[in-house]
Amino acid sequence: MAKLQGFEFWNKTLKAAQFVVAPMVDQSELAWRLLSRRHGAQLCYTPMLHAQVFVRDANYRRENLYNEVCEEDRPLITQFCANDPEVFLEAALLSQDYCDAIDLNLGCPQMIAKRGHYGVFLQDEWELLEKMIRLANEKLSVPITCKIRVFKEIEKTVCYAQMLEKAGCQLLTVHGRTKDQKGAMTGIASWEHIKAVRKAVNIPVFANGNIQHLSDVERCIQETGVQGVMSAEGNLHNPALFEGRNPPVWEMAEEYLEVVKQYPPCTLSYVRAHLFKLWHHTLQIHHDLREELAKVKNIEGLADVSKKLRLRCQEEIAKGKDVEEKESSLPFPHWICQPYVRPVPKEPVANGNSKGSEVKKTVCQKRALEDSDGSADTLSKNKQKKRSRNPNKNFCPDQKPKYIKCEQCGNPKGNKCVFNLCRGCCKKKAFKEVADCPSHGLRFKTKAEKQKADEENRKKDSAAETEKNSSGSPQPPPHPSPELQEQSQAHLPL
């Protein structure tokens, strides 16, 4: 049976899903996906998985996909980051029986993606991407999808999307931000880019960005014409977003912890991170419990802290403090699930002046950027700790050593690598050529020579053993000499 494509795939396999939970590193695990599905989500993605690790590490496969098979958790799309067509295909083949589609991550803008040369940092390598998608589309039994970020130019973004469609992409998720829009510079996602892509391609399109309430979902579909809307941060702060509800935080926290107990194992760090997101606004007030939540060592401890937060919030409600909360910048009291709005990025300063700078300072109380000399007063707490351990440590970006890139993948190369490669590429080359690289601790040649010497020694020992056994076997008695024969005959009786 031929696999479904495009709109047929979206309609039949994905059941025309409109409400989508985004792939989030260490955050869209099974328990969270099930919680989101119970509250309106129609399609979920796995966390982003590293294709190369997925191929080589059986434990990684079992922990991140194989042990999470659940009938309730469908439809499901598995997302990989990759930069090698063969590795991406091999990872996809290992996972295709456990999901409904394979997604290629072309949207991650974080520094780890830059170092690993994947995510949005592949968006200029169209020839490589076309090869990766075409190969996967030809070999897989499930459809291939992509999640991208936009270019500044709408025309270039449209051409990019059309190239991916032509290569074999069956569904496209467009995050309406560029690769530079992250962290403090996140800003507003461009629905104009998403709308242009939707008009230009003949496959389903999901929109991502600016989704904080169900009304945003409806407005996005109306303005852009997309088939579905994906939420990441909005979902993390309010799992009931797609239901159009803003429930008390403890309701979602307690239900999530119940799901975690029902579907173990779940990594403690994942659960802790989810509770930090859910209780974000409350933890800005109850700092002591914030510290406690960060330090507990098990699920039961996290549940206890969540219970304490609930009791404190209920005490405030009983005292009528919800009226006071109306005066804060939050649309709801802090104990209600609601989005976290990032501070507005600062406008560029022209001629040393910036309009409205005083207003922005009150809105966004962030520490100043560190001076080039890295003085202790301007360093972050983390860097101050590092400075206390190493007083000579230098944080000036201009004086940091510039890393030389690996000739094959662009990662930092080993300083004394005999091949001028990073460790991953060096390992492949050293294995292939049976060579050593002391810098990376690789001893393929040494091991091969030792193995050969051991084999020769075994052969010598075996030959010596054979010779010894042959000399020790019983031999026929030698013929007696003539003199002995005469002597023996002299003693014979007559």
In a shared domain, residues 180 and 292: no
Which entry of 44, 108, 337, 437 is annotated as an active-site residue? 108
In a shared domain, residues 178 and 266: no
Q: Is 145 helix (H, G, I), strand (E, B) or coil?
A: strand
Assigned domain for 483 exists:
no
Assigned domain for 215 exists:
yes
What CA–CA distance (Å, rounded) separates 104 from 118? 10
Assigned domain for 139 exists:
yes
Assigned domain for 193 exists:
yes
Task: Return the sign of the alpha-carbon dihedral for residues 217, 223, 227, 229.
Answer: negative
In a shared domain, residues 278 and 233: no
Number of domains in the chain: 3
Residue at a domain's end among 212, 244, 276: 244
Looking at per-residue pLDDT, the higher value among 477 and 112 belongs to 112
Catalytic annotation present for 396: no
Highest mean pLDDT among 180-184, 401-405, 447-451: 447-451
Residue numbers of the domain that contains 422: 400-448
Query: What average pLDDT does range 348-355 have in this prediction?
Result: 47
**Would you state the structure tokens that stand for residue 384, as one six-digit string?**
């101050």
Q: What is the pLDDT of residue 461?
A: 84
Tally helices (H) and strands (E) across the chain: 22, 11
Assigned domain for 358 exists:
no
What CA–CA distance (Å, rounded) separates 48 from 219? 28
Q: Which residue, chain included where needed, has tokens 């989030």?
A: 24
> What mean pLDDT is reported for the chain?
86
What CA–CA distance (Å, rounded) separates 277 from 290? 11
Query: What average pLDDT does range 52-57 have in this prediction?
Result: 95
Q: What is the pLDDT of residue 346?
A: 54
Q: What is the pLDDT of residue 379?
A: 74
Which of these, 280, 291, 258, lies nearest to 335 by C-alpha position? 280
What CA–CA distance (Å, rounded) separates 87 from 83? 8
Condensed to tens digits (0 to 9), the pLDDT of residues 201-213 reads 999 999 999 999 9
In a shared domain, residues 259 and 174: no
Q: What is the pLDDT of residue 344?
A: 61
Would the pLDDT of 148 be above 90? yes
What CA–CA distance (Å, rounded) separates 444 from 448? 6
Pairing of strands 49-50, 76-81: parallel
Residue at a domain's end among 192, 213, 244: 244
Assigned domain for 492 exists:
no
**Would you state the structure tokens that stand for residue 168, as one six-digit string?**
């074999």
Q: What is the pLDDT of residue 13?
A: 96
In a shared domain, residues 226 and 277: no
Would the pLDDT of 492 be above 50? no
Q: Looking at residue 222, which CATH number applies to its domain?
A: 3.20.20.70
Assigned domain for 473 exists:
no
In a shared domain, residues 91 and 184: yes
Condensed to tens digits (0 to 9), the pLDDT of residues 227-243 reads 999 999 999 999 999 99
Q: What b/e readout covers 282-318, taking b as 16+ CB neighbours within 10 angstroms?
A: bbebbeebbebbeeeeebeebbebbeebbeebeebee
Q: What is the pLDDT of residue 358?
A: 43
In a shared domain, residues 86 and 187: yes
Assigned domain for 363 exists:
no
CA atoms within 13 A on the CB side of 416: 7
Q: Is 473 helix (H, G, I), strand (E, B) or coil?
A: coil
CB 216 within 8 A of CB 222: no
CB 18 within 8 A of CB 221: yes
Which residues have C-beta within 8 Å of that of residue 205, sequence separation ≥ 6?
Answer: 171, 172, 173, 174, 194, 197, 198, 224, 226, 227
Strands (E), 399-461: 436-437, 442-443
In a shared domain, residues 307 and 208: no
Would the pLDDT of 440 be above 60? yes
In a shared domain, residues 293 and 183: no
Condensed to tens digits (0 to 9), the pLDDT of residues 5-18 reads 999 999 999 999 99
In a shared domain, residues 270 and 173: no
In a shared domain, residues 237 and 147: yes
Query: What average pLDDT does range 104-110 have in this prediction?
Result: 95
CB 52 within 8 A of CB 15: no
Residue at a domain's end among 310, 340, 370: 340
Percent of the chain with pLDDT over 90: 61
The answer to whether the predicted template modeling score (pTM) of the entire model surpasses 0.85 is no
In a shared domain, residues 152 and 99: yes
**Would you state the structure tokens that stand for residue 333, as one six-digit string?**
């009291």
Query: What average pLDDT does range 422-431 have in this prediction?
Result: 87
